[in-house]
Amino acid sequence: MTQIKTCETCQHWEKQDSVFDKHVGRCHAVYQYFDAMEWDEECTERRMKAEHANHLAFVQDASDYFAMLLTRPNFGCVQHKQNAQTR
């Protein structure tokens, strides 16, 4: 059985240092859904931008203004990329 890679050792993950969120980190492998989309030529339908075609996860808030994915260090993810410092 393969062990799941966790955020703690991922190059996309950034530990948060403030008093309010020191137990979580931010995942930079996910993008805001609104920013990953664009209107088609007829402006009738939204579609995925080419540069985001292979991304597996997105975040969205109600206003489409700002959102981010916060995880604990031991969260497992299929988009894990080993951090060079933890090899």
Q: Give the distance between the most distant pair of CA atoms in the chain.
A: 49
What band does 86 get if pLDDT is binned at 50, 70 and 90? Answer: low
Instruction: Give this prediction's pTM.
Output: 0.78
45 lies in the same domain as 63:
yes
pLDDT in tens, 8-61: 999 999 999 887 788 999 999 999 999 999 998 888 999 999 999 999 999 998
What band does 1 get if pLDDT is binned at 50, 70 and 90? Answer: low
Question: Do 4 and 10 touch, CB atoms closer than 8 A?
Answer: no
21 lies in the same domain as 37:
no
The C-alpha angle with vertex 10 and arms to 59 and 60, in degrees rounded to 5, equals: 5
Domain count for the chain, please give it: 2
Domain membership of residue 1 as a residue range: 1-27+70-87
Buried/exposed code over 62-85 (b: 16+ C-beta within 10 A; e: otherwise): eeeeebebebeeebebeebeeeee
